[in-house]
Structure 1
Amino acid sequence: MVRVRLDSWPEIGGRVAAARERAGFTQRELGDRVGLHRSAITRVELGQRQLDALELARLADALGRSVEWFLTRPPASIASHRIGLSADQNVQRLEDELERTSRDVELLTDIGVLSVATAALPAGGTTLADAEAGAIEARSLLRHGDGPLVDLQAVVESFGLLAFSLDLGPKVIDGGYVRLGSVGVALVNGAADTGRRRFTLAHELGHHLLADEYTTEFGLGTAPADREALINAFAVHFLLPRTSVIRRWKQLSQELEDPRSRLVVLAAEYRVSWTAVVSHARTLELISRNQFEPLKVQRPTPADYLEMGVRVEHELQPIALAPSYSQAAVRAYRRGIISADRAIELLRHTLVPEDLPRPHEMPIDPLAADFEDLA
Structure 2
Amino acid sequence: MTQQELGSRVSMERSAIAKIESGRRGVGALELLRIAEAVGQRLEWLLRDAPDAVIAHRTRLDPDLDVAAIDTLLETLARHTEFVAEIVPALTGNGIEQGEVPRSGKESEALAATARVACGLTDVDAVRGIADVVGRVGLIAFSAPLGPDTADAASTLLNQGAVAIVNSSHAVGRRRLALAHELGHYLVRDDYTVDWRIADHNDSDRTEILLDRFARAFLAPPEAFSRFWRDARRVWSVRTSAILIGSEFQIDMATIARRLHELSLANGDEISEVRGVRTKKADILEHGLLAPTDLEGTTVPTVYAQAVLSLFEKQKLSADRAIGLLLGTFDHEDLPTLPTRHKDEIWSLL
TM-score normalised over the length of structure 1: 0.77
Matched with 2:88 is 112
Q: 2:109 pairs with 116, 119, 132, which one?
A: 132
Match runs of 1:258-273 below 5 Å: 258-273=237-252
Q: In the alignment, does 2:68 pair up with 1:92? A: yes
2:323 equivalent to 1:344:
yes
- The partner residue of 1:192 within 158, 167, 170 is 170
Contact 1:176 1:186 in 2 (8 A): yes
1:123-155, CA deviations, whole angstroms, 9 ceiling, x for partnerless residues? 243221111011112223314342322111221
Partner of residue 27, structure 2: 51
Q: Which residue of 1 aligns with 2:262?
A: 283
Change (3 A) 1:50 1:153: closer
Partner Cα separation in structure 2 for residue 336 and residue 308 of structure 1? 48
Of stretches 285-294 and 57-66 in structure 1, the one that deviates more from structure 2 is 285-294
Residues 198-226 of structure 1 show CA distances to partners (whole Å, capped at 9, x for unaligned) of 111111111122x13149xxxxxxx9822
Check whether the contact 2:7–2:17 (CA below 8 A) recurs between aligned residues: no
**Equivalent position SS for 2:13:** helix
What is the TM-score when the length of structure 2 is the normalising length? Answer: 0.83
Q: Report the identity percentage.
A: 28
Deviation at 1:26, TM superposition (A): 7.1
Gaps spanning 5+ residues in structure 2: where?
55-65, 193-202
Map of 1:213 onto structure 2: 190
1:108 to partner: Cα distance: 0.9
Pairwise CA distance, 1:50: 4.8
Alpha-carbon distance in structure 2 between the residues aligned to 1:295 and 1:330: 44
Gaps of 5+ in 1: 1-16, 78-89, 216-222
Out of 306-315 and 281-290, give the one that drifted further.
306-315
Q: CA RMSD in A?
A: 2.7
Q: Which runs of 4+ in 1 moved over 6 A?
A: 362-366
How many angstroms does 1:332 deviate by?
1.2
> Does 2:246 correspond to 1:235?
no
AA partner of residue 127 (structure 2): L
Alignment counterpart, residue 124 of structure 2, candidates 136, 146, 160: 146
The CA distance in 1 between the partners of 2:317 and 2:162, in whole Å, is 23
The CA distance in 1 between the partners of 2:67 and 2:270, in whole Å, is 36
Residue 123 of structure 1: which of 100, 124, 127 is its match?
100
**Residues matched between the structures, number:** 322
Residue 99 of structure 1: CA displacement? 0.5
Deviations 1:261-302 (A, max 9, x none): 111111111001111111211222222123333431333333
> Tell me, what secondary structure is at the counterpart of 2:234?
helix
CA distance in 1, matches of 2:204, 2:42: 33
What is the rounded CA distance, in whole Å, between the counterparts of 2:205 and 2:133 in structure 1? 27
In the other structure, the counterpart of 1:170 is 148
Matching residue of 2:57: none
Quote the Cα distance in structure 2 between the aligned partners of 1:285 and 1:130: 17
Distance apart, 1:341 and its partner CA:
0.9
- Taking the aligned partners of 1:122 and 1:305, their CA distance within structure 2 comes to 38
Mapped to 2, the partners of 1:111 and 1:122 lie a distance apart of 28
